Amino acid sequence: MFFAAQPASAAVSGTTFAVDKSTAKAGDQLTLTLSLTNSENSPIYFAYEAVQPTWPANTQAGAFTITGCTGDTSDCAFTGNSANFHFNAPIAPGATKSVTLTVKITDTPAWGTAPYTLNWAPYVYYEFGQVGTTGTAKDQTWTFGVPSLQTVIS
């Protein structure tokens, strides 16, 4: 009897997402905090995360812009309304790494004065086990966003 290795599409655990404001107005600044806690029994030796707005916010060019990225990251690239980064690794079992993104809402939004919901869709991928041997990978996409990253702009 043969057993297959765990597929890369196994669900990610240990993620937390937060935004500092559930409501905001034009011109405000938001802070997104994206964290990964290693819930595995061995170190995570590679961890990548990307985040972008969900539809229809992703069609609002210039309505909001990521302006900063800080925290436990070895690199962070952000352009317009999306960002991607690698968490500093290794991440020991039980340890948590966090990255904070700063988002500026434009002073003159294209949607006018009506309330507008901004939500973010993260993607997380990580590898754990022993470097140089057969490790295991997990990834997950939150295509429709997560409630803890939602802000209503009015």
pLDDT at 2: 36
pLDDT at 108: 78
Q: What is the pLDDT of residues 36-55, one digit of tens each?
A: 999 999 999 999 999 998 88
Which tokens hold the place of 92?
Answer: 């020991």
Rounded mean pLDDT, 57-74: 88
Specify the 3-state DSSP secondary structure of 65.
strand
DSSP per residue over 14-64, as a string? SEEEEES-SEE-TT-EEEEEEEEE--SSS-EEEEEEEEEEPTTGGG-TTSE
What percentage of residues in the chain have a pLDDT greater than 90?
51
Domains of the chain with bracketed CATH = 15-153 (2.60.40.1530)
Identify whether the C-beta of residue 46 lies closer than 8 Å to the C-beta of residue 126.
yes
Specify the 3-state DSSP secondary structure of 81.
coil
Q: What is the pLDDT of residues 7-18, one digit of tens each?
A: 444 567 889 999
Select the more confidently predicted residue: 74 or 60: 74
d(CA 9, CA 127): 11
Select the more confidently predicted residue: 10 or 130: 130
